[in-house]
Amino acid sequence: MTRTTRRKILAAFSAAPAWLSAAKPEPRLRNSFRKAPRNGWVHVRLEGAPAEIGFQHGYWMAAEIAAAHRTIAFEMERDSRKPWSFYRAAAKEHLWPRVEAEYREEIEGIAAGIKARRGTLDLWDAVALNAWLEWSPYFLDWHNAGEGAASPAKVTTADRCSAFVATGAYTADGRPVIGHNAWTAYSNGVFWNIIFEIYPAKGHSILMDGYPGLIHSGDDFGVNSAGIAITETTITQFSGWDPEGIPEFVRARKAMQYSRSIDDFARLMRTGNNGGYANNWLVADCNTGEIADLELGLKNVTLRRTQDGYFAGSNFPVSEKLAREETKFDLSDRTHSANTRRVRWDQLMAQHKGRIDAAAAQRFLSDHYDVIENIENPSERTLCGHIDLSPRGLKPWADEYAAVGAVQAKAASAEMLRQMSFSASQGHSCGIHFKAAQHLAKHKQFEWQKPYLRDLPSRPWTVFQASRQPSV
């Protein structure tokens, strides 16, 4: 998408809404707001019944939803060789019957909010967009196998994210510290810049980062008012899908909204597990100081927990059994990104034991140390991912010099989390800016991305906090 096209879309949706000049304001927007961008982040507050929360989301985010959908639809069609209409139909037939009433109402509300802003996306676009991270390779491998066909090479699990959670003797105050950066294509990653503050009629309030149109965080970093903080990293080269299961986007949102403990979280994520967007989940309970690691495969599920230690994620399978039975990943390949970052996490935890706080978490997420070459060298091997700078790429997901890597980061201490607060950085948190035109001029094989690729400037760390204080 060109800057001119994007400006036209945003301008169309940013025009003063009709209800502002009407005698009675739109009642569904009460207690909601959208703040002006702050260091690249858009802060949106949603409150009410599911349909109201959805309407507010669709209304305030209509421009971003349209722009993000355009990019994602293009990328999915190119990689999977399936038109967007295929995903709309699959969303209606396979996913919608397994979405519970509360979240049906919220997604229907999103579609209604978009319509109120004269957008053209409808309910099935909204459902398909919510399942964006579950389609490839999870659903597609299952669908294509049923058709007796192999999936295209680009239908593969993305190596998304670096993350950790630590507590006890590892942290400065003995309480949990958590951090995460999201890896994705820069073309769609520029839209991962929303701070959602949600006050549902039922369950706990939530502060999370998010993506336009998604009812869950998607890259999954957030905290609820019960003091449960959550993040994850994808299990690389995983394949698995249960057509009778509950969509991951439903389970992830429900777990963030209703968990009061690590046990709650594990139960809600495991119930109806469909295998979609299979992740290694990291959880912190700010009330007890306990942390956990839930590796959620389809056949193999492992829950580890401690009050004195750390868990880290960089897309590696923790369980050798899971790696063997549900992935194609080579645990012995020490040069693979997932394994190099795993080693680096262990080094950083050991080096900073007893001194880890939110500031240290920010530094970790900006780390450029390559454990293979033993030098500072930003690439796919470093916690702050820069595949655009790598002559190796991260195959089969990303080719050499592909515009892919870390697009934002978040970090928080237990004290911040108990106040429903965290710090966040847009772009690479290390200070390196991505310039789209310069990259395309240097790597002309990616010229096809020109309508969609935008600059990704590195922004300063910024603290966000819920406007209503939690009960804990």
pLDDT tens figures, 50-73: 999 999 999 999 999 999 999 999
The confidence band for 469, taking pLDDT boundaries of 50, 70 and 90, is low
Q: Which two tokens stand for residue 256?
A: 């963030």
Which amino acid is residue 335, in one-letter code?
T
Instruction: Tell me the mean pLDDT in the region 8-28.
Output: 51
Whether 33 has a pLDDT exceeding 80, the answer reads yes
CA distance 183 to 213: 19
Instruction: Judge contact between 121 and 66, C-beta under 8 A.
Output: yes
Mean pLDDT (the chain, rounded): 94
The confidence band for 19, taking pLDDT boundaries of 50, 70 and 90, is very low
Whether 2 has a pLDDT exceeding 70, the answer reads no
CA distance 276 to 20: 41
Digit-coded pLDDT (tens) for 279-312? 999 999 999 999 999 999 999 999 999 999 999 9
CA distance 253 to 151: 29
Residue 448 CA: distances (Å) to CA of 81, 165, 184, 243: 16, 39, 18, 34
Instruction: Tell me the mean pLDDT in the region 364-384.
Output: 98
Lowest mean pLDDT among 21-30, 36-45, 333-342: 21-30
The confidence band for 468, taking pLDDT boundaries of 50, 70 and 90, is confident
CA distance 382 to 343: 10
Q: What is the pLDDT, as a whole number, of residue 158? A: 85
Residue 366 CA: distances (Å) to CA of 162, 179, 196, 206, 378: 10, 11, 24, 26, 10
Q: What is the pLDDT, as a whole number, of residue 25? A: 74
The confidence band for 23, taking pLDDT boundaries of 50, 70 and 90, is very low
Q: Which two tokens stand for residue 189?
A: 């990653």
As a three-state string, the secondary structure of 353-370 is: CCCECHHHHHHHHCCCEE
For strand 42-48 and strand 194-200, is the pairing parallel, antiparallel, or unpaired?
parallel
Residue 358 CA: distances (Å) to CA of 176, 332, 472: 10, 32, 20
Q: What is the pLDDT, as a whole number, of residue 207? A: 98
As a three-state string, the secondary structure of 191-256 is: CCCEEEEEEECCCCCEEEEECCCCCCCCCCCEEECCCEEEEEEECCCECCCCCCCECHHHHHHHHH
Digit-coded pLDDT (tens) for 387-441? 999 999 999 999 999 999 999 999 999 999 999 999 999 999 999 999 999 999 9
Return the domain boundaries, the chain. 3-28+48-146, 162-465
Whether 164 has a pLDDT exceeding 80, the answer reads yes
Q: What is the pLDDT, as a whole number, of residue 163? A: 98
Q: Which two tokens stand for residue 429?
A: 């948190």
Closest CA to 186 of 466, 376, 433, 351: 433
Place of tokens 């919220």: 106
Question: Going by C-beta distance under 8 Å and a sequence separation of 6 or more, which residues neighbour residue 121?
Answer: 65, 66, 69, 111, 114, 129
Instruction: Judge contact between 69 and 121, C-beta under 8 A.
Output: yes
CA distance 78 to 65: 20
Counting residues of the chain whose pLDDT is more than 70, the rounded percentage is 94
Whether 4 has a pLDDT exceeding 60, the answer reads no
Q: What is the pLDDT, as a whole number, of residue 436? A: 98
Place of tokens 């722009």: 67
CA distance 255 to 257: 5
Digit-coded pLDDT (tens) for 180-235? 999 999 999 999 999 999 999 999 999 999 999 999 999 999 999 999 999 999 99
> Quick one: CATH architecture of 162-465?
4-Layer Sandwich (3.60)
Q: Which two tokens stand for residue 439?
A: 């990259």
Residue 20 CA: distances (Å) to CA of 54, 113, 411: 20, 15, 37
Whether 12 has a pLDDT exceeding 80, the answer reads no
Closest CA to 427 of 411, 441, 406: 406
Digit-coded pLDDT (tens) for 375-395? 999 999 999 999 999 999 999
The confidence band for 240, taking pLDDT boundaries of 50, 70 and 90, is very high
Whether 330 has a pLDDT exceeding 70, the answer reads yes
Q: Which alpha helices (DSSP H) does 234-390 contain, by range?
A: 248-258, 262-270, 320-326, 337-351, 358-365
Q: Which fold has domain 3-28+48-146?
A: Penicillin Amidohydrolase; domain 1 (1.10.439)
Around 378, how many Cα atoms within 13 Å sit in the side-chain half-sphere? 20
